[in-house]
């Protein structure tokens, strides 16, 4: 993350592109192929809170689920269940599509079970998604894991929820742009 004095803009790396935050004009712009997300309320909220509250804290390199975050067991239920079902439906029988979409937004394939990809959403916020494919014994499922330091950079669980909503939308949008052969 940097501040460009000449342009009066914060440049915040976001996935494989950047978000520009102009404090003087109170505008946010997402660069590259994700420009349609410039007006996304949840993304703007996450970026502003990240700029205000992210701390210089090293990653713990310990992956945790949403319910492992402080207060997450209660918060991430009912209306705050993370939107993983669209990923499961969209990619269950199409691992090539997930691979192409994930890589197109900066995802790096990792060996964590199922189909797994690591993303650096913001400079201090990596996430991991895992898709378990359908087989003769189990239904497909998708999961997201966070470095346990995420709550140090996003001050509330609402912001973690918003971040995942934006990420899922970006990944599905990227999948829609992948040629049909995947």
| DSSP for 58-112, written as a single string | -----EE-GGGSTTHHHHSSGGG----HHHHHHHTT-HHHHHHHHHHTT-EEE-S
Q: Is 181 among the domain residues?
A: no
Domain count, the chain: 1
| DSSP reduced 3-state for 177 | coil
pLDDT given at position 1: 85
Q: Is 168 among the domain residues?
A: yes
pLDDT given at position 134: 84
Contact, 31 vs 18, CB < 8 A? Answer: yes
Q: Is 40 among the domain residues?
A: yes
pLDDT given at position 182: 52
Strands 108-110 and 63-64: unpaired
The pTM (predicted TM-score) of the whole model is: 0.93
Query: Distance from CA of residue 133 to its chain's centroid?
Result: 21
Phi, psi of 175 (to 5 degrees): -65, -35
Q: Is 73 among the domain residues?
A: yes
Which strand ranges, in their side-by-side order, compose the sheet holding 115-122?
A: 63-64, 141-147, 125-132, 115-122, 108-110
Q: Is 47 among the domain residues?
A: yes
Q: Is 182 among the domain residues?
A: no
Q: Is 62 among the domain residues?
A: yes
pLDDT given at position 33: 84
Residue located via tokens 């996430």? 127
Give the pLDDT of the chain (182 residues) as one tens digit per residue. Answer: 899 999 999 999 999 999 999 999 999 999 988 878 888 999 999 999 999 999 999 999 999 999 999 999 999 998 899 999 999 999 988 999 999 999 999 999 999 878 999 999 999 999 999 999 888 888 989 999 999 999 999 989 999 999 999 999 999 999 998 886 65
Contact, 128 vs 112, CB < 8 A? Answer: yes
Q: Is 159 among the domain residues?
A: yes
- Full domain range(s) for residue 14: 2-176
What residues pair up with 141 in beta bridges, in sequence order? 132
């Amino acid at each position: 993350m940097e501040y460009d004095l000449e342009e009066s803009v914060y440049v915040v790396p976001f996935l494989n592109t950047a978000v520009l935050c102009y404090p003087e004009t109170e505008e946010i712009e997402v660069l590259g192929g994700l420009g349609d997300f410039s007006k996304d309320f949840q993304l703007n909220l996450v970026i502003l809170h990240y700029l205000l509250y992210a701390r210089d804290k090293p990653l713990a390199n310990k992956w945790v689920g949403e319910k492992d975050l402080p207060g997450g067991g209660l918060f991430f239920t009912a209306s705050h269940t993370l939107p993983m079902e669209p990923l499961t439906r969209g990619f269950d029988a199409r691992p090539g599509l997930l691979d192409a979409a994930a890589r197109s937004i900066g995802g790096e394939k990792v060996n964590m079970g199922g189909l797994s990809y690591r993303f650096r959403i913001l400079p201090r916020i990596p996430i991991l998604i895992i898709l378990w494919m359908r087989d003769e014994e189990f239904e497909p499922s998708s999961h997201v894991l966070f470095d346990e330091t995420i709550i140090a950079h996003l001050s509330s669980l609402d912001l973690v929820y918003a971040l995942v909503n934006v990420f899922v939308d970006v990944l599905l949008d990227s999948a829609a742009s992948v040629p049909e052969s995947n």
